[in-house]
Every structure is written in structure tokens, then in C-alpha cells.
Structure 1
Amino acid sequence: MLEFIKENVEIAQIAVSLMTAIIWLVYLHIFLSGYIQQRRSSILINRGGGPDMQARCLVSNMGAQPAYLLDVLASLGTGDDINVSSVIDREELRKEELEQPTNVTGQGPIPSGGYVDIGTFEDVARRAGHSAEDGNLEDRCLKLVAVCATNQANHVVAAVREFDLHAADGGVRLVPRKLEARQIRSRRLRKKITSMLERLERKDGNAEIGAEFAGL
């Protein structure tokens, strides 16, 4: 065996070098994967405090870095009738005495592991132009898109979650379609969301916005 190694010492050295390079590449891949995963944004849209319309709508930041909540968009349409509204501002509080003006909106920074309570789902539905008293919430789908800005993203980041609304015991029950919010990381979709926010601010082309919102 020693004679064989002596006779093929150059080949052995090349093999050892290749194995060392492969090991370092594997370590580099693991390190980069962990780094990217750690820096990646993660936004959750949760239902807290029960399954009905009095449950709180919570937007959480589970990323390693702080995020700034820019807006929460909502639709309660069915079929082709989709109207998109910004529901981030607590419009129902504007007539009340507030100690801090910032309490009127959910906009603001969310630390890592923190959350923002944007109100009850009934409040959210009312801001989107629908009222539970009208009896028009049943058999609809409430689609929410939370939009944030982070230091890592060149554009906004967002998450989508949908809740089916069903009649239950004289009220409305919220049933999430999936366990967690779906993260939007595609550059194309993030640019589309940015464009939607700009047009909503200008109140321009809501029909087109509805069609784009349905495709998120």
C-alpha cells in the first residue's frame, strides 16, 4: 500500500485537494443558506382571540430584522366584483379622543418577533366597505395583503392570507384557508404591489387593481 502511494503521490495529492475543496464548498453552501434564511423576511397575518369577527387581526414580523408596516390591503369580493381597500388606518377611532395621534393607524415599525394589532376583523371588514349588520359577509372570502419595507429589500415585501367567512350561530365564522400566510418574494409581484399602492393612493383604476389583487 505504501509503495502504491509513493508511486502515485501526485494523484493522491490531487485527490486530497479535491476532497478538501468539496468539503469547503459544502460548508460555504450551508453558511450561505443559513445567512440568506436568517435575513429573509417573514410576515404573518394571524387571527387572535376567537374564530368570529370579533377576533383581532394581527400582523407579525418573524424575520430577523425589523420591518416597517406600510399598508394592509383587503378585499371581500366574490367573482369578478373585487374592490380593494386600504384597511391600515383605524377610521373608527378618528372621532374619539386619542392620547397619541399615532394610535389612529397601524403603520409603523415592527421589531423582530413583534406584531401590530390593526383591529377586529369586523373593523377590517367595515374599513373595506362591508358591514356585518348588512348581512353581506357570509360566503365571502376576506383576502388580506400585509405590505412592509425592510432594509434588505430593494422593493416592498408582502404576505397574503385568505379567510373564508361562514354563517355560524347567528354570526360569521372566520376559517383560514391555509395554516400560514404565503410570503411574496417574487420581484415581479413586489413591483406589482408597489404599483397598486401608488394607484390606490391616487384613487386610480380600482377595477384594474382588483384584477391584479386577485392574482396575488
Structure 2
Amino acid sequence: MNWDVIVSYLPLYKDGLLITLYTGWFGILISIVLGLVTALIVHFKVPVLKTIAKIYIEILRNTPLLIQLFFIYYGIPKLFGIVTDELTCGIVGLGLLGGAYMAETFRSGIEAVDTIQMESALSLGMTRRQAMFHIILPQAVTYSVPAFVANLIFLLKETSVFSCISILELMFTAKDRIAVSSTTVESLFLVVVFYLIVLLPVSIIGSVVERRLRYASFGN
């Protein structure tokens, strides 16, 4: 282990970290919005859209992100003439994949809330939409937190696939340093360290939030 090499690589990995965070968090924001909308469509059994939503979930969850990125980056321009840059492709690909996972997370959380909650809200004069956003969803969040945090960690790790379309994130930086300087140990060591810097806080904060919400649900 050459520590001088590691120190000299730090600026490169810092730049890779910033790109990882940029693509990762924008992709996650898209996935949250898309997942919530999809979950509501499936939950309320919206005609036609429910079938489309289920097909979307099954296809995206059962195909690798690598294949999805290749399709978006290489396939869509040939089929439809829509050309995207690498960062846009990565963000959209991650958002679509995450949306499928988030949809199932939110759907399971919504369905975990007792149906009497909706019935009680409707009997008090609330509309179904008001009941969903003011009564059901806040409770569903508490059930969804563990799976939601797991999805966040999973999606942030999936950014390592972005190197296949030449996005200069952490894994691309490591591969580049290994190819140029043959510093395999140092390069992979730095990848592990920088991913831990990103993912450990997410895991710890998620655990704290989960415990607080769990206790709150019992009135403690």
C-alpha cells in the first residue's frame, strides 16, 4: 500500500465523489416522485394505467441497470433519434430503476395501513384524496422507512455501473487509475473508503429515523 499514491489520488476521487452524489441524488429524487405516483396508480387500480404501471415495475426490477443504461444511451437514439448526454442518461436510468423499487416500497407501506383508517376518514367527510394525503400516507411512511433506506443505499451503489457509459464517477476513476498506473490496491481501497463516506451516514440516519418513527407509532 503506497500512501503517497493514495494522497495524490484524493483530488481525482473527490471529483468522482461529487459526480456520484450529483447523479445519485438526482436519480433518487426522480425515483421517489415516480415511485409514489406509480404506487398510487396501482393502489387505486386506475384503469389502463395500473396495467402499464405493473409492466413497468416488473420490467425494470427484473433487468440489470447496465442493460437499461445501454438501451437509453445507445438504443433510444437509434430507435427514436433522441440523443442524451452521459449524465442525463445516468440520472434517468437510475430514476427509472429506482421508481420501480420505490413504487413497491410505497405500495406495501400504504397497504400496511388498516383499511378502517380510510373508512373512518371518509365517514368524517373527508374526500378520498384528503384522506390519502393527510391520514394514510403519513402512516405509510413509518412502515416504508426500512425499505426506503435500503433502496437509497442500493441506488447509490448502483451508480458504480455508470462507468460503462463513461461517467467520471468513483468506479470510473478507479478503473482509469488502475489502467494508467497499475495501482490496483490503492485505487480500490479509495473506492471503498469514498463509498463508505457516502453510504454509512445514510445507513445511520435511516436507522435513527426508523427507531424514532417506530416509537412514535406506539405513542412513546
Give TM-score scaled by structure 2 length.
0.29
More helix as a share of residues: 2
Give TM-score scaled by structure 1 length.
0.29
Q: Name the larger-Rg structure.
A: 1
Greater RCO, CA 8 A, separation 6+ = 2
More strand as a share of residues: 1
